[in-house]
Amino acid sequence: MSCPICDAESQKAYRPFCSKRCADLDLAKWLNGSYTLPSQDPEDLEKALEATEEALGQGKNTQTLKH
Ligand SMILES: [Zn+2]
Protein backbone atom coordinates (compact mmCIF):
# COMPACT_ATOMS: atom_id res chain seq x y z
CA MET A 1 0.00 0.00 0.00
CA SER A 2 1.26 3.48 -0.80
CA CYS A 3 0.57 6.88 0.69
CA PRO A 4 -2.47 8.48 -1.01
CA ILE A 5 -0.84 11.90 -0.67
CA CYS A 6 2.68 11.44 -2.03
CA ASP A 7 2.70 7.81 -3.15
CA ALA A 8 5.53 6.89 -0.81
CA GLU A 9 5.44 3.65 1.11
CA SER A 10 2.96 3.71 4.01
CA GLN A 11 4.18 3.57 7.58
CA LYS A 12 2.27 1.39 10.01
CA ALA A 13 1.97 4.20 12.57
CA TYR A 14 0.38 6.55 10.04
CA ARG A 15 -1.42 4.07 7.79
CA PRO A 16 -2.45 4.61 5.09
CA PHE A 17 -0.08 7.56 5.04
CA CYS A 18 3.72 7.62 5.04
CA SER A 19 4.09 10.24 7.76
CA LYS A 20 2.25 12.54 10.11
CA ARG A 21 2.87 15.24 7.53
CA CYS A 22 0.82 13.42 4.93
CA ALA A 23 -1.85 12.52 7.47
CA ASP A 24 -2.08 16.22 8.29
CA LEU A 25 -2.24 17.06 4.61
CA ASP A 26 -5.16 14.72 4.21
CA LEU A 27 -6.83 16.30 7.21
CA ALA A 28 -6.26 19.70 5.63
CA LYS A 29 -7.99 18.47 2.51
CA TRP A 30 -10.99 17.49 4.59
CA LEU A 31 -11.00 20.73 6.56
CA ASN A 32 -10.78 22.67 3.31
CA GLY A 33 -13.36 20.47 1.67
CA SER A 34 -15.85 23.31 1.36
CA TYR A 35 -13.96 24.51 -1.70
CA THR A 36 -12.19 22.61 -4.41
CA LEU A 37 -8.43 22.58 -4.30
CA PRO A 38 -6.91 23.81 -7.57
CA SER A 39 -5.17 20.50 -8.08
CA GLN A 40 -3.78 17.44 -6.36
CA ASP A 41 -0.31 18.89 -6.65
CA PRO A 42 1.60 18.38 -3.38
CA GLU A 43 2.62 22.04 -3.35
CA ASP A 44 -1.03 23.07 -3.37
CA LEU A 45 -1.67 20.65 -0.54
CA GLU A 46 1.25 22.20 1.32
CA LYS A 47 -0.43 25.58 1.03
CA ALA A 48 -3.70 24.12 2.23
CA LEU A 49 -1.90 22.57 5.18
CA GLU A 50 -0.18 25.82 6.06
CA ALA A 51 -3.50 27.63 6.00
CA THR A 52 -5.01 24.94 8.17
CA GLU A 53 -2.12 25.03 10.63
CA GLU A 54 -2.43 28.79 10.88
CA ALA A 55 -6.14 28.46 11.52
CA LEU A 56 -5.45 25.90 14.22
CA GLY A 57 -2.53 27.82 15.69
CA GLN A 58 -0.21 24.87 15.20
CA GLY A 59 2.14 26.40 12.63
CA LYS A 60 4.43 28.03 15.16
CA ASN A 61 6.96 25.21 15.45
CA THR A 62 7.77 25.03 11.77
CA GLN A 63 7.97 28.81 11.55
CA THR A 64 10.45 28.94 14.43
CA LEU A 65 12.79 26.45 12.76
CA LYS A 66 13.29 28.75 9.79
CA HIS A 67 14.91 31.57 11.76
ZN1 LIG B 1 3.10 10.60 2.04
As residues whose CB is below 5 A from the ion ligand 1, the structure lists 3, 5-6, 8, 18, 22
Q: How many CA atoms are closer than 13 Å to the CA of 20, on its beta-carbon side?
A: 0
State the distance from the centre of ligand 1 to the C-alpha of 13, rounded, in angstroms.
12
pLDDT of residue 14: 95
Alpha carbon distance 32, 52 (integer Å): 8
pLDDT digits (tens, 9 = 90+) for 52-62: 888 887 655 55
pLDDT tens-digit readout, 4-49: 989 999 999 999 999 999 998 888 888 776 555 555 666 777 887 8
Domain range annotation of the chain = 20-65
The Å distance, Cα 28 to ligand 1 centre, comes to 14
Is residue 45 packed enough to be buried (19+ CB in 10 Å), middle (13-18) or exposed (0-12)?
buried
In this predicted structure, what is the pLDDT of residue 65? 53
**Residues listed for the chain:** 67
- CA 43 to ligand 1 centroid distance, Å: 13
- pLDDT score of 55: 81
CA of 17 to the centre of ligand 1 (A): 5
